[in-house]
Amino acid sequence: MDSIEISEQSSVSFDVVEQNSVLCDDVDRIMFRLMPILLLDKLKRSLLMNRVMKRKLLRILEHCGWEVTEANAGVSVNAKPSTLLGKQFEHNKNGSTCKLNLNDSNIRETMLRAMGLCINGASWIES
């Protein structure tokens, strides 16, 4: 019968591999525990940033004369351009001048053509 000899060197390397796998298991366990905490922190920072950006948007809209109704949930903001409605608007494009009186039916198209700002139309909003 053949006998297998295991030298000290091979047993040492086996111990190192075993210790590394234990170390990897510990690191995996720690990362598994830390991941929700790290993600929660990132989520809190993101929510805070969204709140700050929303407040800035509301302030700018109010400063420009829009009536803002703050939404209770979600990411939408309802605002009505009250100071613009009923005013005469003149837009020059390609040498031709377009004059019109702003109202809820044409303000969306006017803002899109003049400023490139796309807003929802007023047809579904109560006055």
> What is the pTM (predicted TM-score) of this model?
0.54
Instruction: Give the integer Cα–Cα distance in Å for 105 and 124.
Output: 11
pLDDT tens per residue across span 49-90: 888 888 898 899 899 888 888 776 666 778 888 888 888 888
For residues 101 and 57, state if they share a domain: no
The residue among 24, 42, 67 that closes a domain is 67
Structural domain count, the chain: 2
Instruction: Give the integer Cα–Cα distance in Å for 104 and 125.
Output: 10
- Mean pLDDT for 107-121 is 81
For residues 23 and 48, state if they share a domain: yes
**Host domain of residue 115:** 84-127
Is the residue at 100 inside a domain? yes
Sign of the dihedral through C-alpha 23, 24, 28, 31:
positive
Instruction: Give the integer Cα–Cα distance in Å for 2 and 20.
Output: 32
For residues 20 and 60, state if they share a domain: yes
Sequence-ordered strand ranges (E) for 56-126: 67-69, 78-80, 88-93, 96-101
For the chain, give the mean pLDDT.
Answer: 75
For residues 60 and 16, state if they share a domain: yes
| pLDDT at residue 111, rounded to an integer | 82
